[in-house]
Amino acid sequence: MTDLNALSYTEEHEWLDIAPSTGSGTSVATIGITDFAAEKLGDVVFVELPEAGTEIAAGTVVGEIESTKSVGELYAPVTGTVVEINDAVVDDPSLVNAAPFEGGWLIKILIADDAADGLLDRAAYVALTEG
Amino acid sequence: MIEARFTPLRERHESLGASFTDFGGWQMPVRYTSDLAEHHAVRQAAGLFDISHMAEFLVAGDFAAEFLDYSLAGRLSTMAIGKAKYSLVLAEDGGIIDDVIVYRLADDRFLVIANAGNRGFVDAAFASRVRSFPSRIERDLPPRAEGEDRSFAGFLGDRGVDVEDVSDTYALLAVQGPASEAIAAATAGITDVSIPWADQKYYAWADAFFLGAPLLIARTGYTGEDGFELLVRSEDAVALWDAVLAAGETHGIVPAGLAARDTLRLEAGMPLYGHELSREIKPAQAGLGRVVASDKTDFIGKDAVAPAEDAPVLVGLAAEGKRAGRAGYAVVAGDGTVLGEITSGALSPTLGHPIAMAYIDPASAETGTAVFLDVRGTKIPATVTALPFYRRKK
């Protein structure tokens, strides 16, 4: 089980699992949407993700998550390069609902300069969703 | 800010873990666990919906039938007792104020079920139409009964019809799906059913009792499946909800929310007020020309009910892949010319491909016409398709 307190969060209801720096000064963040977002969307039936190698800028829309009822946009929470996408979730979007913090992860980003600004910790994110 | 309303089943929904959404001023369950699972359960077994937010009006009096012929688009006076009929409340300009189902309870009594969000508009329309409906004294009265007041004073202003909003007195549950008949028949507490379950016809109703109080059983619904809508006293709604779920357990019944209800009705090609129907749409544009009895001598909206020849018309659209067109997205031609706009759209859970309803230029509305959906800047090929998208096997 993922330790939710160890993750970072955004106001767009994404979570980031930022792996420790490899020594080269860069780190990789695994990104998904929170259980709160998955619950709000309903059953996810389609995800569109950026291709590996795509450079993305924090705050821009880089993908889409569609449920039967609505469309959610995936915002890049940090600036960097997409190094991997979760093919399993493209094939079976229901993973986003079934395991949003585990098998339902979406993309991995090589963070450009360790400048992951404006992220929330668990307590701040929970406060946001209860607000 | 208007305070959100809840149905008598609020606590049941909460304890089942429902997510709520605003619908017509009501906080209604949008889903309990999974809207896809709830959708599939209705297609394959059964689902139980709380639709107590809907509005009910009783129209009663010697001239109730004539009043409804005058007030609604269809001809209700020729309906047999025991039948139900889909109809429309039109504005003077021919636009649609609401779509309703009318049940004939007796020669002089009708039940009208209207949409929750239009309750006030329907109530106001009926109130004003009672006033503009010719009074008894302007009609040919039947022979005077002994002791009946036939004085001018006795009849002046008497319309011979009375409309009562009984929405708060009753709750409405819908059990929908192929197992509905078996589940309804096995529901404990329902007694004295006036017509055997298997003999109850689609768009008809039967009388019964639940826990000793009157229960109206209507074989109607909004899912494209067989099923029943049960009008029960508000104070008995929780007991009926529990009894239906208990009876349905071995049949695979699940509580189902508005998300599933929406994809089910879309597959069945049924219009939703506020999407396919509105004050700006005339019945024939929505494919509801058959609902209008244009040959009636007088009814509200008669003079303006025909749409312009080039007015957009409602069509079904089917696409490949998984990306659905949504309400508000444009329908365009190959050269980018805008042909119309989607009013409802989703990835069809039953069919596995995107479906939509849209109002488009009549020149492009023929079945088989190739068009494109503008899905947030991407053009997705789609084909004009006859409605409904899904039809149950009889």
Q: What is the pLDDT of residue A69?
A: 83
- B263: contact with A, CB 8 A cutoff: yes
Per the CB < 8 Å rule, is A68 touching B19? no
Q: What is the pLDDT of residue A130?
A: 86
**Residue B2 predicted with pLDDT over 70:** no
Q: What is the pLDDT of residue B350?
A: 97
Query: pTM of the entire structure?
Result: 0.91
Q: What is the pLDDT of residue B95?
A: 98
Highest mean pLDDT among A19-23, A69-73, B228-232: B228-232
Residue spans of beta strands (DSSP E) within chain B: 19-23, 26-31, 46-50, 55-60, 84-90, 96-106, 109-114, 162-165, 170-176, 190-191, 205-210, 213-218, 227-233, 253-255, 313-319, 330-332, 338-347, 354-360, 370-375, 378-385
Residues of B in contact with A71 (CB under 8 A): 326, 376
Closest CA to A66 of B345, B300, B32: B345
- Determine, yes or no, domain membership for A130: no
Give the mean pLDDT of B16-31.
94
Alpha carbon of A24: minimum distance to chain B alpha carbons (Å): 39
Per the CB < 8 Å rule, is A46 touching B39? no
Give the mean pLDDT of A77-94.
95
**For the purposes of burial, counting CB atoms within 10 Å of the CB of B198, is it exposed (0-12), middle (13-18) or buried (19 or more)?**
exposed
Instruction: Give pLDDT tens digits for B24-48.
Output: 899 999 999 999 999 999 999 999 9
Per the CB < 8 Å rule, is B35 touching A66? no
Q: What is the pLDDT of residue B153?
A: 64
Per the CB < 8 Å rule, is B259 touching A97? no
CATH code for the domain of A20? 2.40.50.100
Q: What is the pLDDT of residue A24?
A: 65
Angstrom distance (rounded) from CA A109 to CA A78: 8
Residues of A in contact with B36 (CB under 8 A): 43, 45, 68, 94
- Contact yes or no for B228/B179 (Cβ under 8 A): no
Chain B residue with CA closest to A93: the answer is B322
Instruction: Give pLDDT tens digits for B285-342.
Output: 999 999 999 998 889 999 999 999 999 999 999 999 999 999 999 999 999 999 999 9
Per the CB < 8 Å rule, is A69 touching B36? no
Q: Give the closest of B19, B35, B376 to A68, CB-based.
A: B35
Chain A residue with CA closest to B327: the answer is A70
Residues of B in contact with A97 (CB under 8 A): 34
Instruction: Give pLDDT tens digits for B253-271.
Output: 999 999 999 999 999 999 9
- Tell me the C-alpha to C-alpha distance, in Å, between residue B211 and each of B105, B169, B181, B247: 21, 16, 19, 15
Q: What is the pLDDT of residue B111?
A: 98
Per the CB < 8 Å rule, is A68 touching B326? no
Q: Bridge-partner residues for A8, per DSSP?
A: A16
Q: Give the closest of B31, B326, B376 to A42, CB-based.
A: B31
Q: Which residues contact A52 (CB under 8 A, 6 or more apart)?
A: A82, A83, A84, A85
Give the mean pLDDT of B115-123.
97
CB atoms within 10 A of CB B211: 16
Angstrom distance (rounded) from CA B166 to CA B111: 10
Question: Which pair of structure tokens corresponds to residue A57?
Answer: 């800028």
- B353: contact with A, CB 8 A cutoff: no
Q: Bridge-partner residues for B233, per DSSP?
A: B170
At residue B74, what is the residue type?
G
Domains: count for chain A = 1
In this predicted structure, which of A115-119, B3-7, B222-226, B277-281 has the lowest mean pLDDT?
A115-119
Q: What is the pLDDT of residue A23?
A: 64
ipTM of the complex, rounded to two decimals: 0.79
Q: What is the pLDDT of residue B154?
A: 65
Question: pLDDT-derived band of residue A112, with 50, 70 and 90 as boundaries?
Answer: confident
- Determine, yes or no, domain membership for A112: yes
- Determine, yes or no, domain membership for A113: yes
Q: Give the closest of B37, B259, B323 to A46, CB-based.
A: B323
Question: pLDDT-derived band of residue B217, with 50, 70 and 90 as boundaries?
Answer: very high
In this predicted structure, which of A46-55, B76-85, B151-160 has the lowest mean pLDDT?
B151-160
Give chain B's domains with CATH numbers.
10-54+167-267 (3.30.1360.120), 55-165 (3.30.70.1400), 311-394 (2.40.30.110)
Chain B residue with CA closest to A98: the answer is B34
Per the CB < 8 Å rule, is A68 touching B36? yes
Alpha carbon of B19: minimum distance to chain A alpha carbons (Å): 8
The residue range of the domain holding A51 is: 4-125
Compute the mean pLDDT over every residue in chain B, rounded to the nearest whole number: 95
